[in-house]
Amino acid sequence: MADRKPIESWLTDMDGVLIHEGVPIPGADAFIEKLRESGRPFLVLTNNSIYTPRDLHARLRRLGLEVPIENIWTSALATAKFLDDQRPGGSAYVIGEAGLTTALHDIGYILTDHDPDYVVLGETRTYSFEAMTKAVRLINAGARFICTNPDETGPSTEGPLPATGAVAALITKATGRQPYFAGKPNPLMMRTGLNTIGAHSESSAMIGDRMDTDVLAGIEAGMKTFLVLTGLTRPEQVENFPYRPSKVVDSIADIVDLV
């Protein structure tokens, strides 16, 4: 196999790589600082669609991680970019928070429950039976079903929470319609992210803590992949997957010198 090009740009997941349950992971600050000093293009990615990049910038800054707003890429932004490409100026019924509704407003979408082009499901801490019922009826009436990400659970200090993928399964069961997931592991999220920073997959690397989303998305987008062991995937689980990361490291601290 031919040698890959040197890494010129970096994409990294946020939860499990840079922070864990609201606490910075040792080495994360040095990694971000090194990236900024180097001038290399980079993005911090998250499948969580609750927060806007501005929200996440403020959250990370409070933790001592200075990530510019333009260097944050969320599944909500990837979803909005996809919808803007597919059906510019369309309409959507949205189940989600400000991260998703703001992204759709910014591309000129109308948010409505009257004959929308799409039902868009994202992350929220307050999934309501009423909203899910409305989504089912709109999909049955012809609305196309889009989800920001397929994650079935999300982290919290109290333990796992049901996430977008779990609620999507409920709606699919009620409608017989499978959604299109815009977030990881869909390489669409990686490619649209790379395009925003003018980077190319053959000279880019993806850092993540999950084999089934981060590493898979990186591989399918043609990137070099690093798995860190500070998140969900444990060392003994790596061999269970039919694909492998380019390299497994203990934490983000082991990647600082590679920037």
Residue 244: exposure state from Cβ atoms within 10 A (0-12, 13-18, ≥19) = middle
In b/e form, how buried is each residue of 189-220, taking b as 16+ CB within 10 angstroms?
bbbbbbebbebebebbbbbbbbbbbbbbbbbb
> Which amino acid, residue 47?
N
| Angle in degrees, 0-180, between the axes of helices 187-196 and 75-86, rounded to the nearest 10 | 90
Pair of tokens at residue 205: 């690397």
Q: Cα–Cα distances in Å, from 45 out to 57, 82, 116, 247? A: 12, 16, 29, 19
**Whether 84 is catalytic:** no
Asked if 162 and 137 touch (Cβ cutoff 8 Å), the reply is no
**Whether 55 is catalytic:** no
On the CB side of 159, CA atoms within 13 Å amount to 0
Distance between first and last Cα of the chain = 23
- Catalytic hit among 15, 29, 117, 209: 15
- Measured in residues, the chain has a length of 259
- Catalytic hit among 13, 29, 209, 214: 13
Distance from C-alpha of 103 to C-alpha of 202, rounded to nearest angstrom: 28
Distance from C-alpha of 241 to C-alpha of 186, rounded to nearest angstrom: 17
Catalytically active residues, by annotation:
13, 15
